[in-house]
Amino acid sequence: MTKNPNTFLTDKKFPFCPGCGHGISINALNKALQELNYTAHDIIVVSDIGCSGLIDPLFATHTIHGLHGRSPALGLGVAMGVAQKQNKKVIAFIGDGGATIGLQHILEAARRNVDMTLIVLNNLLYGMTGGQISGLSTQKFKEIIDFEKDIPPFDLVQLAHASGARFAVRVNAPNKIKDTLKKAIKTKGFSLVEAASLCPSYGMKRMNELIEVVEEENILEHQRPATRIKDQLTTSLLDKTPRITPKYKANLTNRKGILIAGSAGGGAQSVARFLAMAGMYAGLQATMKGEYPITVGTGFSVAEVIFDHNPINYTGLEKPDYFIIVTQDGLIKVKNKLNKDSKIYIEEKLVTDELKEKYSNIIPVAFGKMANRKSTALAATTYVLNKENILPLEALKEAVGTHRLKDIFVEVIEKASQY
C-alpha cells in the first residue's frame, strides 16, 4: 500500500518497458483524482489483459481485474451497483487491442450512459504479444510497418459518440491528459478518453514520432443526462437454493479429494454434484469443480470433489486421494495427474501393461458391467464410496433423490453396492 495519503498509487514500481507511455496516463490520473478531492476508497479501477492490464497493483484503490476486452462491461456492472453511493467513481482501463476485442462492450456502455470513465491507452498495437496491429492502428502507422494499408481503423471516439456517450475525446499531448481526465471524471454519464501512448519496444520510441501517426485530437459531447439507476428489492437467488440439512454421519477423519474422469454424456458432472451433496448430507464441507471441452457433447468430462470437516477455501485438487476413471477420454485427460500415492480405481478394460508397471496402486474394476454408459460414473462412484467407507450410501441416495431420474439412480446405487 501507499505510505503517502496524498496519492492514489501504491509504492510498487511501474512494470512497463522503459519509455512506455502508459505511465504518463497513470500519473496524470493520480494527479487528476487528487485535484478532484476524491479519496482512494471512492475509486474503483477496473482493468483487463495486456500491458494496460498491469495497473492493478499500482493503485491503492479498489481494483478489479477481468478478461481481455471486458473491462468496460465489468466497469458498467460495478457503476450500476454503486450508483446510489455518494462520491463513488468507476474508472476502467483498456488498451487498443482490448478495445478492438471488446468493442461491443464499449458501445453498450456508451449507449447505457451510466456514470463511469473509460481510459483507452492507445499505443497502436498489441504490445504484450509482440507488436501486432490492432483495430485502432492508424493508417499512417500501418504505412510505416507496411501492413493492411487499405483497411481503415475504427474511430473509437466517433463510435462512442454515435452510441450515446456523454463525453468522448481523443488526446495526443501528454500535458493535456490530466485536465482531459478531470473533465471526463466530472462528467455525469459515460465518458471515454483515448490517450495516445508510446510503445518503445514495438512502436514509436519518441512522442514527436507518435504525434505524426496518431489521429487528430477530437472532442465530442452529448447533452443527454446520465442514466438514473434505481435500486430495486428482489428476492435473492439463494432463497431458491435448496437447504441441505445433515442427516447422516461421515467416517472421514481428514480431508479427502475424489476425481471422477469420464466422457461427455457419461454423467461425471452430475455424479460429482450428487457426491458433493451427499457429503453435505453427511455433515461435511464440500466443493465440486467440473472441467470439459467447449464441444460439451464429445470428449472428456472430469469433475473434482473435496470433503472436509473444516472450511475449504480452495477448490483445486492437485493430488486426489482417489481417482475414479471410467473411460478412455477420462484417462487421457488425467493421465499426467496419476501418482503413486493416490488410489486409482479404473475400468479394467483401460488398464495396460504400461500402467500396471508404472503404478502399483492401480485397482482395476469392471465398472462397465455395473451399469449402462450413462450411469457408469455413478456406479463407479458408489463402488468406491462403499469400498473405502467414505460416506454412507444413504447420503448418496438422498442426493440423487432431487433428480427426476431418482428411481433409476437409486437402482444403480443399490446394484453397484453389491459388487
- Checking if the pLDDT of 2 tops 70, the result is no
pLDDT digits (tens, 9 = 90+) for 328-369: 999 999 999 999 999 999 999 999 999 999 999 999 999 999
pLDDT band of residue 86 (cuts 50, 70, 90) is confident
Whether residue 243 sits in one domain with residue 216: no
Tens of pLDDT, residue by residue over 96-135, are: 999 999 999 999 999 999 999 999 999 999 988 888 999 9
Cell of 75: 466497469
**212 and 246 co-located in one domain:** no
- At 281 the pLDDT is 96
Q: Which of 189, 221, 253 lies at the terminal end of a domain, its last residue?
A: 221
4 part of a folded domain: no
Alpha-carbon distance of 392 to 186, in angstroms, equals 62
In this structure, the answer to whether residues 187 and 283 fall within a common structural domain is no
Whether 385 and 358 map to the same domain: the answer is: yes
250 and 386 assigned to the same domain: yes
Question: Residues 189-207: what's their mean pLDDT?
Answer: 92
Residue 398 predicted with pLDDT over 60: yes
Residues 316 and 217 in one domain: no
pLDDT (0 to 100) of residue 315: 84
Residue 162 domain-assigned (yes or no): yes
Confidence at 4, pLDDT banded by 50, 70, 90: low
Annotate 133-163 with b (16+ C-beta within 10 A) or e (fewer): bbebbbeebbeeeeeeeeeebbbbbebbbeb
Pick left, alpha or beta for residue 259 (phi over 0 → left; psi -120 to 50 → alpha; otherwise beta). beta
255 and 363: one domain? yes
Considering the domain architecture, whether residues 213 and 243 belong to the same structural domain is answered as: no
pLDDT at 52: 92
* Domain with 90 in it: 22-221
Q: Are residues 262 and 171 in the same domain?
A: no
276 lies in some domain? yes
| Total tally of structural domains belonging to the chain | 2
Asked, for residue 190, whether it belongs to a domain, the answer is yes
Residue 155 has pLDDT above 90, yes or no: yes
Q: Are 246 and 212 part of one and the same domain? A: no
Q: What is the CATH number of the domain that holds 174?
A: 3.40.50.970
Q: What angle do CA 49, 17, 160 make, to 5 degrees?
A: 45
Q: Examine the fold and report which residue of 221, 247, 262 is the final residue of a domain before the chain moves on.
A: 221
Residues 361 and 404 reside in one and the same domain: yes
Q: Which among 3-12, 99-108, 132-141, 201-210 has the top mean pLDDT? A: 99-108
When the pLDDT of each residue in the chain is averaged and rounded to a whole number, the result is 93
pLDDT of res. 270 = 96
Residue with cell 479429494: 257
Confirm whether 181 is domain-assigned. Answer: yes
Cell of 234: 428482489
Residues 277 and 184 in one domain: no
Determine the average pLDDT of the residues in 7-35: 94
Q: What is the CATH number of the domain that holds 303?
A: 3.40.920.10
Mean pLDDT of 33-47: 96
Answer whether residue 247 shows pLDDT above 60.
yes
Average pLDDT, integer, range 247-269: 94
Residue 8 domain flag: no
27 domain-assigned:
yes
pLDDT for residue 63: 96
Q: Which of 186, 221, 256 is the last residue of a domain?
A: 221
Taken in order 291, 296, 300, 306, the sign of the CA dihedral is: positive
Q: How does residue 148 score in pLDDT terms, banded at 50, 70 and 90?
A: confident
Instruction: For residue 16, tell me if it sits in a domain.
Output: no
pLDDT above 80: residue 3 = no
Quote the pTM value.
0.66
pLDDT, tens digit, 9 for 90 and up, residues 52-71 = 999 999 999 999 999 999 99
